Chains A and B, each alone.
Chain A
């Protein structure tokens, strides 16, 4: 492959590491990370019913194997000096045609390895959980095949060393997501949700395709090293176009405004899927893309600002929706959207934010996956009920679920010393960092993230109290089924326990001495911290006050008072939030309706006008032929006249064409 010389001096961050060749057996066999789960998925799909008995365990083993390989590579990378922690593993010549020369290769660096560990660790836990959760499903083996396919695609996405290979993983996770959301596609609405997710993602994919077209036209290459190396000689408008196009892709994958509408519906998938794909990993791929493309964004301040704005809008959007949802999974989905908004905002802040975006992404992966598994455990014990208005008082009946979920709750609302406190607080501080020449940004975005923190505390506490506290509002025998909530089997509870441990300790552990941000420096660069526009203690104190206020309001309304079993009418804002701020209505009015009309008109036009013209010509020809037949009256005279006329026509045609 063509590696063009890096012009480090022109790079926005001078200490960007230069890739080195792999060393040691594990780095060289990094392709196994992707291959093992991929082969396992293929085996499970091809073996069919024959593998029903052991298929799920093969799936677990494949995911765990990737984790072990990932851990070994991580160790080898930690042993290497900091300057040699970006490793390029060339695999084979992939797409070389015309002006494009592209090898398939993997990039092992702190950023990709962070994702590898997150995906395979959380992924393996969720695989184990699913063994029990999907126990009664006749298609459990196929479910594990899709989960493995997802793990393989997600690892390819984060390990790819070029935008094209990244795109392959990007579409692969989209496919896995489609298959898993629609896993129970005999219910039409689930099938529709799956399709909606894929289409919304495809709209985002246009962005990635356009970005690649622009990169190729300017740089002539699509591997990270060449593209990032050429950023210095790119003009700002090109970098901005690429940055905005990448942002569009990120919006699709990470359910960010305005492509957010699919995530809530995606909760149609089995709950482990929601935990793994639609909370911990795939939906955060947009953040990965932005952070990975940091050199481009550094050269495109306007695109960066757009990232921040999208993040700010989405974090408020999700938080508002989250306050109104009664479906436990949809409330969690809204929360995911909002939390990814935080990450996106941080990623848009530039070097002060990259590391914290990824940091929050990792801690969020643990506590949100834990809470989704908790929600699944609740549903397991409550006959698949998802309406929180029919929960209540479950703490006594599902102690492990309650405790593990509670720890996740404390983590996400940002109570010290739980994980979320460390990661979210840093984003809030970063949002308050002054931007030269645009002081308003620090105040505006700082306030948005502060308000978001308060709202997060409210909706997550609402969710927690409605589910586990207050009086029981379970369905009764008279309503169809009497509820007998019970704790879930161990295969389900111990993954929850492990994730809860992460929710408690991971943030603190990774913050000690800034170990995580230092670890990421070879990829995202090193920055000296300026001072935020407000003193840090003031920011911290206001955050805590807002968090406590939000939690208190939720406690007063949903734990200390009676929660109605049927949702009250609510204010206009509540009604709008329940309908996701009318996102579907807007999409229908702007895209779906006109699109259907256009398609219908074109179908009509194709028959009547385009084909009609041809058929018309045919009819006219037949008509002329009829006339001509009548002219064949046997008189030599008229034949001669016709021939003359024909010759004249021919002559005219020839003369005219010569002109």
Chain B
């Protein structure tokens, strides 16, 4: 515990940044964006340093641990630490923040006051994102889960589109409803546990001998909250409204990162805390996940609003993630974990580049575009890359994760995988159809003078394209971080991988040294 508190530093730095940005006065407010970006970039540096302290060979184990009493009377601790997956998701958050800030550079025009609020709120969100993926105390996690709503509520409600209030309130109420269920479950769970000053610590709540019925209800309390957050069919309807009305950068963080808290929670809380209930619920959840895959994709095909379309594609992709988690094979769980990261890159890029398009046209309706490939070839190219990543083209990172989910799921539940794979064709439809309507055909009147990506915008999109290419061609950079936690998750729920002709070899390799995973 005498080491440098890496995770705390990663949480505090953006908060300090937000405070500084808000504290700027007078002429200095003009520099609010630069200050915020500066903090975001220092945060990236800090992240790189934290990575060097993480032992990837033991990615299944929580590392960079800090545990301090917070409200010992209530059993609440400030406990942080990450396994490989948590670290990757923190990396995703930290890397997206400067891009989002850069993307919104001109969004508020000359209104430096608003620009200041926007930048500060993004930094506050960043701190919450890091904290929630690092939390090792169930109550602390719950607090963050709810607290995250506040900056996002303001980001949508203050800076969004015409129906921003409706969208923001809908987002808030939906999430609060889920949160309340979770709160009830958190409290009951605590009462079942060892209590004491560290009674909410996750590791103290794993492996409780819960009454089966209680376990099921507690599982549902957590799961419904996470399913809303993720979002899964049929509790997804807040997302299209939020995405339609939120600024593109907010949608990037909301869908790219914050929603991952749902799937992250399923994997790192639902499964280890309630292993029996997880197995009990898995068949139904798999059906819902497959339904999400197809439903989201079909709905995306039918959308007229570009941002709503992207939101529905995410419903489809979240379906794949949940499917991978509840298929309970080390392959599918590893795939689902990596999918969380890749989907953040892919959807993040899609939202950001769509935002650039919308800002130029002043409309989100797909029908208001046409023939732009000739006018803005670079923007068209980036949009196509983002689209191809959404349809999981090999060579771009989302393919690897979707593929692992599919082959891993098939071994457990053939029909689910075979039905879900139809989503691959539907994805091609919604991506290429959208590309066709926006970028091909004759140039629409009035759009001949649209300007191509500026160098600032290339700096926003370039890193994401590069990241997806690198992780697409060489996923071995990221896979070790999710592989260990996936095997650990399998161990905690007590499920073995389905057998195959080679399993004799693989099983001994795979479980070596994992012992009791603590996630």
Residues of A within 8 A of B (CB): 2, 4, 45, 48, 92-101, 164, 167-168, 171-172, 175, 178, 182, 185-188, 190-192, 195, 198-199, 202-203, 205-206, 209-210, 212-214, 216-222, 226, 230, 233, 598-600, 602-603, 606, 610-611, 614, 618, 657-658
Is there an interface contact between B299 and A602, defined as CB atoms closer than 8 Å?
Answer: yes
Is there an interface contact between B410 and A618, defined as CB atoms closer than 8 Å?
Answer: no
Q: Given the complex, which residues of B lie within 8 Å of A219, measured CB to CB?
A: 500-502
Residue of B nearest to A233 (CB): B501
Q: Given the complex, which residues of B lie within 8 Å of A220, measured CB to CB?
A: 500-503, 506
B172 to chain A, nearest CB (A): 12
With A and B bound together, what is the CA distance between A281 and B72 in angstroms? 70
Which 4 A-B pairs give the minimum distances between C-beta atoms? A98-B331, A220-B502, A220-B500, A191-B440
Q: Given the complex, which residues of B lie within 8 Å of A190, measured CB to CB?
A: 440
With A and B bound together, what is the CA distance between A548 and B207 in angstroms? 82
Q: Given the complex, which residues of A lie within 8 Å of B421, measured CB to CB?
A: 206, 209-210, 213
Is there an interface contact between B482 and A2, defined as CB atoms closer than 8 Å?
Answer: no
Q: Given the complex, which residues of B lie within 8 Å of A101, measured CB to CB?
A: 506, 509
Is there an interface contact between A602 and B502, defined as CB atoms closer than 8 Å?
Answer: no
A190 to chain B, nearest CB (A): 8
Is there an interface contact between B502 and A4, defined as CB atoms closer than 8 Å?
Answer: yes
Interface residues of B in 378-433 (CB under 8 A from A): 378, 381, 388, 393-395, 400, 403-404, 406-408, 410-411, 414, 417-418, 421-422, 424-425, 428-429, 432-433
List 21 A–B pairs whose Cβ atoms lie within 8 Å, in order of A's numbering. Answer: A2-B505, A48-B378, A94-B476, A96-B476, A97-B335, A97-B482, A98-B335, A164-B403, A168-B394, A171-B394, A185-B373, A185-B436, A188-B441, A209-B406, A213-B411, A218-B500, A218-B501, A220-B501, A602-B302, A614-B238, A618-B173
With A and B bound together, what is the CA distance between A192 and B437 in angstroms? 10
With A and B bound together, what is the CA distance between A95 and B474 in angstroms? 8
Known: A202-B425, A218-B501. 18 other contacts (CB 8 A): A4-B501, A94-B476, A95-B476, A97-B479, A98-B329, A98-B330, A98-B334, A98-B335, A98-B510, A100-B404, A164-B394, A185-B439, A186-B373, A202-B424, A206-B425, A220-B500, A222-B407, A602-B302
Is there an interface contact between A191 and B331, defined as CB atoms closer than 8 Å?
Answer: no
With A and B bound together, what is the CA distance between A212 and B410 in angstroms? 10
Interface majority SS (helix, strand, loop, mixed), chain B: helix
Which of A92, A221, A602 is within 8 Å of B476, CB to CB?
A92
Is there an interface contact between A100 and B407, defined as CB atoms closer than 8 Å?
Answer: yes
Is there an interface contact between B411 and A217, defined as CB atoms closer than 8 Å?
Answer: yes
B37 to chain A, nearest CB (A): 25
Is there an interface contact between B373 and A2, defined as CB atoms closer than 8 Å?
Answer: no
Which of B302, B381, B406, B497 is within 8 Å of A603, CB to CB?
B302
Is there an interface contact between B388 and A175, defined as CB atoms closer than 8 Å?
Answer: yes
Known: A97-B335, A606-B237. A217 touches B500 (CB 8 A): yes
Residue of A nearest to B234 (CB): A610
The answer, yes or no, to whether B105 is at the interface (CB within 8 Å) is no
Interface residues of B in 452-509 (CB under 8 A from A): 474-476, 479, 482-483, 486-487, 497-498, 500-503, 505-506, 509
A217 to chain B, nearest CB (A): 4
Q: A164, A171, A187, A203: which has the most chain B beta carbons within 10 Å?
A: A171
A104 to chain B, nearest CB (A): 9
The answer, yes or no, to whether B332 is at the interface (CB within 8 Å) is yes
Q: Given the complex, which residues of A lie within 8 Å of B422, measured CB to CB?
A: 206
Residue of A nearest to B312 (CB): A606
Is there an interface contact between A98 and B502, defined as CB atoms closer than 8 Å?
Answer: no
Q: Given the complex, which residues of A lie within 8 Å of B510, measured CB to CB?
A: 98-99
With A and B bound together, what is the CA distance between A99 and B498 in angstroms? 10
Known: A213-B407, A220-B500, A614-B174. A185 touches B393 (CB 8 A): no
The answer, yes or no, to whether B153 is at the interface (CB within 8 Å) is no
The answer, yes or no, to whether B217 is at the interface (CB within 8 Å) is yes
B306 to chain A, nearest CB (A): 15
Is there an interface contact between B338 and A97, defined as CB atoms closer than 8 Å?
Answer: yes
Which of A167, A217, A233 is within 8 Å of B498, CB to CB?
A217
Is there an interface contact between A99 and B394, defined as CB atoms closer than 8 Å?
Answer: no
Residue of B nearest to A600 (CB): B302
Residue of B nearest to A185 (CB): B440
Known: A101-B506, A185-B440. A199 touches B428 (CB 8 A): yes
A518 to chain B, nearest CB (A): 33
With A and B bound together, what is the CA distance between A171 and B441 in angstroms? 25
Which of A4, A92, A98, A186 is within 8 Å of B404, CB to CB?
A98
The answer, yes or no, to whether B360 is at the interface (CB within 8 Å) is no
With A and B bound together, what is the CA distance between A97 and B414 in angstroms? 20
With A and B bound together, what is the CA distance between A627 and B394 in angstroms? 58
A305 to chain B, nearest CB (A): 23
Q: Given the complex, which residues of B lie within 8 Å of A168, measured CB to CB?
A: 394-395
With A and B bound together, what is the CA distance between A622 and B257 in angstroms? 32
Q: A171, A220, A598: which has the most chain B beta carbons within 10 Å?
A: A220
The answer, yes or no, to whether B333 is at the interface (CB within 8 Å) is yes
Known: A95-B404, A220-B500. A198 touches B428 (CB 8 A): yes
With A and B bound together, what is the CA distance between A185 and B435 in angstroms? 11
B163 to chain A, nearest CB (A): 13
Known: A209-B421, A220-B500, A611-B237. A99 touches B329 (CB 8 A): yes
The answer, yes or no, to whether B303 is at the interface (CB within 8 Å) is yes
A143 to chain B, nearest CB (A): 13
The answer, yes or no, to whether B2 is at the interface (CB within 8 Å) is no
Is there an interface contact between B474 and A92, defined as CB atoms closer than 8 Å?
Answer: yes
Is there an interface contact between A216 and B500, defined as CB atoms closer than 8 Å?
Answer: yes
Q: A45, A95, A185, A618: which has the most chain B beta carbons within 10 Å?
A: A95
With A and B bound together, what is the CA distance between A168 and B233 in angstroms? 31
The answer, yes or no, to whether B443 is at the interface (CB within 8 Å) is yes
Which of B432, B476, B486 is within 8 Å of A98, CB to CB?
B486
Q: Given the complex, which residues of B lie within 8 Å of A218, measured CB to CB?
A: 500-501
Q: Given the complex, which residues of B lie within 8 Å of A210, measured CB to CB?
A: 418, 421
With A and B bound together, what is the CA distance between A304 and B425 in angstroms? 26
Is there an interface contact between B425 and A199, defined as CB atoms closer than 8 Å?
Answer: yes
Q: Given the complex, which residues of A lie within 8 Å of B474, measured CB to CB?
A: 92, 94
Q: Given the complex, which residues of A lie within 8 Å of B479, measured CB to CB?
A: 95-97
Is there an interface contact between A606 and B299, defined as CB atoms closer than 8 Å?
Answer: yes
Is there an interface contact between B404 and A191, defined as CB atoms closer than 8 Å?
Answer: no
Indicate with 1 or 0, residue by residue over B203-246, a CB within 8 angstroms of chain A CB atoms: 00000000001000100000000000000011111100000000
Which of A92, A96, A175, A602 is within 8 Å of B483, CB to CB?
A96
Residue of A nearest to B418 (CB): A210
Is there an interface contact between B503 and A99, defined as CB atoms closer than 8 Å?
Answer: yes
With A and B bound together, what is the CA distance between A487 and B238 in angstroms? 64
The answer, yes or no, to whether B106 is at the interface (CB within 8 Å) is no
Is there an interface contact between A192 and B436, defined as CB atoms closer than 8 Å?
Answer: yes
